[in-house]
Amino acid sequence: MAGAAAEQRRFATVVESWLGRPVLIVGDAMLDEWRFADSDRLCREAPAPVLTLRRRISAAGGAANTAVNVAALGGRAVLVAPVGADVAGDELHDCLDRASVWDRTVNQPGRPTPVKRRMLAGNQILLREDSGDPEDALDHDGVSRLLTALSCATEELRAAAGGEAPTLVVCDYGLGALPAPVRAWLVENRQRYATVALDAHDLADWRGLAPTVVTPSFAEATRLLARAGGTTRPTGGTELHLEHPDSDPVDGPSEMTVGAAPGAVRADDTAAELTRADRPGPVGEPTPGEGRVALTGDGLSVTGTGVTVNTRAGEGVDRAVLARSRLAELRAHTGADVVAVTLDTEGAVVGGADGEPRRSHSTPVPASHAVGAGDAYLAAMTLALAADAPLPTAAQLAQLAATITVSDTGTCVCRRDDLLAALDQPTDSTSHPALVSGDELDAIVAEYREAGRSVVFTNGCFDVLHRGHVRYLEQARALGDLLIVAVNSDGSVRRLKGPDRPVNPVEDRGALLAALACVDHVVVFEEDSPAALIEAVRPDVYVKGGDYPPELVPEAPLVRRLGGQVRTLGYVPDRSTSAIIERIRSHSQDPSPHVDDREPDPSLRTRTQAS
């Protein structure tokens, strides 16, 4: 028991060490839409259920969900991807904002945002409708703007991390977000990134990238081996081998045969035993249409897009055994330091330079519970390797992150607190209140410093809290381990804004800020400038809102003298306290002819008076 507890503490140390680590995610971003319905009858026109929609949920998918998982696990996630100028694109932007992902997506008018719409009844997926076509290629201008966004986001992350090279995650799901010029740029600029993770349906497209880690599914791994050609590997033991035809059919899939290596059939095996239809075979992935593998009805082979794997010749052959036997070749073909072959609910097989395969296991769950679990696996594996964790630790953390996300229907996201809780570790090292005094703040900051946590500091009036404030504070929180917000007192606001401000007293303003999940502590200051608090806190990052360079921030010289960075974050357009107040005033002065003059519901009047 003591050994297990020590191992969990070691894992938790790695989770703490990747807090704030800069990660750039690029690739195919999409929107996951879940529609939950009830059905209690069939329609008259066909033997099909009549559905009554009860609930609809939208979530980030693909590369966007990988970015959400990186942010949720404590990394500093920036997403660069083409997104359509459509309703789905707007919803995807909202998903990224809520997850505190730095949204550096590139608007692509005329190219729709890919969407996966699932309709469920009784938690059973009845159908899935996909929109977004690989044929919707980026035009020349779109490619150019995507490359500019990549370069700018890379430098932005490097600056935010004090010059540290960021981590890169490439998510290529064949939807056209990463055309040849973008792939060439990433290969050419590989040296700008410390750690590179690759998740691609077609790994052959990424020759020359030299990734740190690749995470192919079983189908993607076998497809790569098949396309690489290959002669049979002679062995003297029971190792599996692959045979590949001399050439692919002109219009057909690649094909491999998997069986026992020459001489590997045991002496006590009979011909009947080798051909039994009830022989244990691999458990297949359920969705061959997505390039995955599905078990055939005879129990002898698994098939998928571009590859057929025949297990008839070898007793007990399964995907994990096959993956273990070919890890070295997969590393050679991809140029990766680490290969992690994911097997869905069967876990994963991971191999590194030491040649020692690692096997991890998962818990079988319904397919509707596992959507996006691979994104959680990829995010945790990448963060762990970027934090220099040993490969066995990174593999176990990645599997744990994927496993704990599959408890319910929906797109999987693993949060740092959930991961620490699964490791039986406390999720917060302090129990300090959110609203604190200046004296309390000194002691709190000292405690955080001792724990090695970085401090982000911002200040403002925050008179009428609105969406622009919330997005700004979420982005500020993503720059470090905790966020301290200093709020101007009522007297200070009157001196800065005029005698009719603030609209809300400082007690209300502070309470609302403290209720935000992205805000760790709120402190009130009486002065017109937060200089004294900045001197006391000595923030690692000082943040102000505005579309001007950091050099124009009045507090910038002080922050830099104390060893901190200064960042400015742009506001949400058309969202400001002054504009909201002006709208309220104009409405109150306008006797609108459309106002309903009917007598209000007496029960409503009673509730209003009581409140």
| Predicted confidence (pLDDT) per residue in 76-127, tens digit | 999 999 999 989 999 999 889 888 899 999 998 888 999 999 888 877 788 8
Q: How large is the average pLDDT for residues 376-400?
A: 93
Give Cβ neighbours of residue 113 (< 8 Å, ≥ 6 apart). 29, 30, 31, 83, 84, 86, 88, 89, 92, 132
Provide the pLDDT for residue 280: 35
* DSSP summary character for residue 306: T
| Predicted confidence (pLDDT) per residue in 180-235, tens digit | 999 999 999 999 999 999 999 888 889 899 999 999 988 888 888 887 764 334 33
Provide the pLDDT for residue 589: 59
Provide the pLDDT for residue 518: 86
Q: Which residue has the tokens 């070898």?
A: 314
Provide the pLDDT for residue 209: 93
Reference 567, options 161, 72, 18; nearest CA is 161
Provide the pLDDT for residue 35: 87
Separation of first and last alpha carbons in the chain? 55
Is the omega angle on the peptide bond into residue 502 within 30 degrees of 0, that is, cis?
A: yes
Reference 401, options 423, 386, 385; nearest CA is 423
How many Å apart are CA 159 and CA 148, to the nearest integer?
Answer: 17
Provide the pLDDT for residue 198: 95
Provide the pLDDT for residue 298: 39
Q: How large is the average pLDDT for residues 584-608?
A: 46
Q: Output the CA torsion sign for 568, 573, 575, 579.
A: positive
How many Å apart are CA 320 and CA 349, to the nearest integer?
Answer: 6
3-class secondary-structure state, position 409: coil
Provide the pLDDT for residue 583: 59
3-class secondary-structure state, position 120: strand
Domains of the chain: residue spans and CATH: 15-40+49-227+320-424 (3.40.1190.20), 434-578 (3.40.50.620)
| Predicted confidence (pLDDT) per residue in 491-506, tens digit | 999 998 888 888 888 8
Provide the pLDDT for residue 219: 86
Annotated catalytic residue 418? no
pLDDT band at 19 (very low <50, low <70, confident <90, very high): confident
Instruction: Please indicate whether residue 364 or residue 27 has the higher confidence score (pLDDT).
Output: 27
Backbone conformation region of residue 449, classed left if phi is above 0, alpha if psi is from -120 to 50, else beta:
alpha
Query: What are residue 487's DSSP bridge partners?
Result: 460, 524
Provide the pLDDT for residue 266: 35
pLDDT band at 31 (very low <50, low <70, confident <90, very high): very high
* Range 601-608, long-range pairs (CB < 8 A, 24+ positions): none
Instruction: Please indicate whether residue 425 or residue 217 has the higher confidence score (pLDDT).
Output: 217
Q: How large is the average pLDDT for residues 486-495?
A: 92
The region of weakest confidence among 10-24, 436-450, 549-563 is: 436-450
Query: What are residue 301's DSSP bridge partners?
Result: 310
> 338-369 burial by CB neighbour count: b if 16+ within 10 A, else e?
bbbbbbbbbbbbbbbeeeebbbbebeebeebb
Reference 110, options 80, 79, 89, 81; nearest CA is 89
> In terms of C-beta density within 10 A (0-12 exposed, 13-18 middle, 19 or more buried), how is residue 566 classed?
buried
How many Å apart are CA 334 and CA 337, to the nearest integer?
Answer: 9
Provide the pLDDT for residue 464: 81
Backbone conformation region of residue 140, classed left if phi is above 0, alpha if psi is from -120 to 50, else beta:
alpha
Provide the pLDDT for residue 213: 95
Provide the pLDDT for residue 204: 86
The region of weakest confidence among 163-167, 390-394, 456-460, 474-478 is: 474-478
Provide the pLDDT for residue 255: 33
How far, CA to CA in Å, does 496 sit from each of 368, 403, 511?
A: 54, 52, 21
Residue 172 confidence (pLDDT) above 90 = yes
Q: How large is the average pLDDT for residues 313-325?
A: 67
Provide the pLDDT for residue 425: 74
Residue 572 confidence (pLDDT) above 90 = no
Provide the pLDDT for residue 139: 87
Average pLDDT value for the chain: 77
Q: Could you give the dihedral angle defined by the CA atoms of residues 188, 189, 193 and 196, in that order, rounded to the nearest 10 degrees?
A: -40
Provide the pLDDT for residue 379: 95
> Given 103, 337, 375, 520, which residue is catalytic?
375
pLDDT band at 585 (very low <50, low <70, confident <90, very high): low
Reference 333, options 206, 428, 423; nearest CA is 206
Provide the pLDDT for residue 257: 34
Give Cβ neighbours of residue 478 (< 8 Å, ≥ 6 apart). 71, 76, 77, 100, 101, 102
